Structure 1
Amino acid sequence: MLILLSPAKTLDFESPSKVKTSTNPEFIKDSVEIAGLMKQQTPASLRDLMGISESLAELNHARFQDWMAPHPKEGSKQAIFAFQGDVYQGLQAEKLTAKQLDVAQEQLRTLSGLYGILRPLDRILPYRLEMGTPLPNSHGKDLYAFWRDRVTDSVAKQMQVNGSRFLLNLASNEYFRCVDAKALPAPVVAPAFKELKNGKYKIISFFAKKARGTMAAWVIRNRVKTTTKLTQFAEDDYTYHPDLSTEKVPVFVRG
């Protein structure tokens, strides 16, 4: 199986990594082009381009000015330990064993506006660049144009290597738009996580994001390979709801 996640805006480059082993991002040479375009931005233009506050624009301007490839070990960190947002609170990478990290390295991928696609142990530098950013580049008007073919090809090849019966899409819609699902060798399954509120099941962003990470970790720990096994997911009080589900969108509820 291959699992896709979104990256996180919240980062941790202060805490030491659990492991010393690291790898280089597959598309680091392409990242150089994107980083070069970002280096040309002023804090004011970054604020407008990315829709962020003045303080975040200043921070990310400094980050891109310092960005270099290849990445120095000092100041860089493996992606799975650097990302600290809601999804990664659910993933709890620090609790994965060495063998489980090996499985994750083969089965887990994070989509990225700067790096295209990342394996868990790929070293990254601090950055913020969402996939939906309308940054004109050599391939078109935005990052989707730049990354779609590269990322789709990478995903398809890894699915074939893994013998994946389906792609487990736990990424957001914004990020999954950089993948051409029709070009993949197997179907895409995108679970939904819902909470019972006022008598109705609803998706609540924070809980859904955390559940995506929790499911990713559960799949890795249990070597899940089939959709039948996937429906047995029951972490954090979630249960599979067959009446709300379809083949490609299994629904898990709680409450």
Structure 2
Amino acid sequence: MLVLLPPSEGKASSGRGAPLKLDALSLPGLTEARAAVLDELVELCAADEDKAREVLGLSEGLRDEVGKNVRLRTAGARPAGEIYTGVLYDALDLATLDTAAKRRAARSLLVFSGLWGAVRVTDRIPSYRCSMGVRLPGLGALGGHWRTPMASVLPEAAGDGLVLDLRSSAYVAAWKPKGEVAEQTASVRVLHAPTRKVVSHFNKATKGRIVRGLLSAGVAPKGPAELVEALRDLGYEVEAAAPAKPGQAWSLDVLVDEVH
């Protein structure tokens, strides 16, 4: 099972570990594309703070985030699972998983990123600020920048197993499963049951809890249909729509009344 996660806007501090080793990150086929974003992002933020804030969509109150990007090559690096914070990652709570569940997380979780493309939770990265919606002056829209390298790397990472897609729309732009991989993909929405609407807090917290539940239970669904049963066994109300034709993903709606 490969679980595709969005990153978090807020991130923990880099800490004092060894700095980034770009060629040590998982999915080495993305290294060249990562280096291109890293080089332009560092140069942009070092050259003109105001322009960098505009490009990155940062308010005056987030000015310090520009300086964080300037230091990307020298700042301490920590496992991505410790860097990403926020509602989804608080609910997932990787640090408190048992040893077996942590091993499953290391194998199956893939966090998408405007800067790194995608990383595993064990990959050591510094704290940064660069969403997938950013358009860099030289490289252009990052969703488009990542599309080609992702198309060559991600199908191999997915293999013939289940792909559980929990990404937000901006990150879907970087890679859309196709063909047989798409048929093994389940795209999940979380809806507030009384209103049938996506509510941000319900959405993020429930996705974190879903992933934690699957990892803790040690279940490994082989495909979308088995995933539906696994989620129902975990107590979730799930509405599933199989693809209308070959080469498309399954759509799953998880209905929640409240987040405990």
User: 5 Å matches for 1:154-169?
Assistant: 154-160=153-159, 163-164=160-161, 166-169=162-165
2:245 alignment counterpart: none
Partner SS state of residue 89, structure 1: helix
Residue in structure 1 matching 2:69, options 47, 64, 84: 64
Amino acid corresponding to residue 256 of structure 2 in structure 1? R
Normalising by structure 2, report the TM-score: 0.80
1:223 alignment counterpart: 219
Displacement of 1:6 in angstroms is 0.5
For 1:195-248, what per-residue CA distance to the aligned partner results, in whole angstroms no more than 9, with x for missing partners? 133xx32210111011112212222233331333322425996422x3xx3121
Displacement of 1:40 in angstroms is 2.6
User: Which runs of 5 or more structure 2 residues have no equivalent in the other structure?
Assistant: 18-23, 243-249
Distance 1:213 1:31 in 2: 26
1:8 alignment counterpart: 8
User: 5 Å matches for 1:156-195?
Assistant: 156-160=155-159, 163-164=160-161, 166-182=162-178, 185-187=181-183, 188-195=185-192
Q: 2:16·2:77 contact (CA, 8 Å) conserved in 1?
A: no
Distance 2:202 2:235 in 1: 12
Distance 1:86 1:115 in 2: 21
Distance 2:235 2:192 in 1: 11
Partner SS state of residue 111, structure 1: strand
1:51 alignment counterpart: 57
Q: 2:2·2:110 contact (CA, 8 Å) conserved in 1?
A: yes
Q: 2:202·2:256 contact (CA, 8 Å) conserved in 1?
A: no
Partner SS state of residue 251, structure 2: coil
- Asked if 1:94 is matched to 2:108, the reply is no
Higher mean Cα deviation, 212-221 or 222-231? Answer: 222-231
Partner SS state of residue 7, structure 1: coil
Q: 2:65·2:129 contact (CA, 8 Å) conserved in 1?
A: yes
Amino acid corresponding to residue 121 of structure 1 in structure 2? T
1:251 alignment counterpart: 253
Partner SS state of residue 181, structure 2: coil
Normalising by structure 1, report the TM-score: 0.82
- Asked if 1:131 is matched to 2:147, the reply is no
Q: 1:4·1:109 contact (CA, 8 Å) conserved in 2?
A: yes
Amino acid corresponding to residue 97 of structure 1 in structure 2? D
Change (3 A) 1:230 1:124: same
User: Which runs of 5 or more structure 1 residues have no equivalent in the other structure?
Assistant: 18-22
1:150 alignment counterpart: 149
Displacement of 1:15 in angstroms is 8.1
Amino acid corresponding to residue 163 of structure 2 in structure 1? L
Partner SS state of residue 110, structure 1: strand
Distance 2:129 2:180 in 1: 28
What is the number of residues matched between the two proteins?
235
Amino acid corresponding to residue 207 of structure 1 in structure 2? F
Distance 2:147 2:136 in 1: 14
Distance 2:168 2:102 in 1: 23
* Percent identical: 20
Amino acid corresponding to residue 35 of structure 1 in structure 2? L
User: 5 Å matches for 1:200-239?
Assistant: 200-221=195-216, 222-225=218-221, 226-231=223-228, 232-233=230-231, 238-239=236-237
Q: 2:78·2:124 contact (CA, 8 Å) conserved in 1?
A: yes
Q: 1:3·1:107 contact (CA, 8 Å) conserved in 2?
A: yes
Q: Which runs of 4+ in 1 moved over 6 A?
A: 14-17
Change (3 A) 1:176 1:132: same
Partner SS state of residue 254, structure 2: strand
Amino acid corresponding to residue 125 of structure 1 in structure 2? P
Change (3 A) 1:128 1:214: same
Distance 1:109 1:246 in 2: 24
Q: 1:4·1:170 contact (CA, 8 Å) conserved in 2?
A: yes
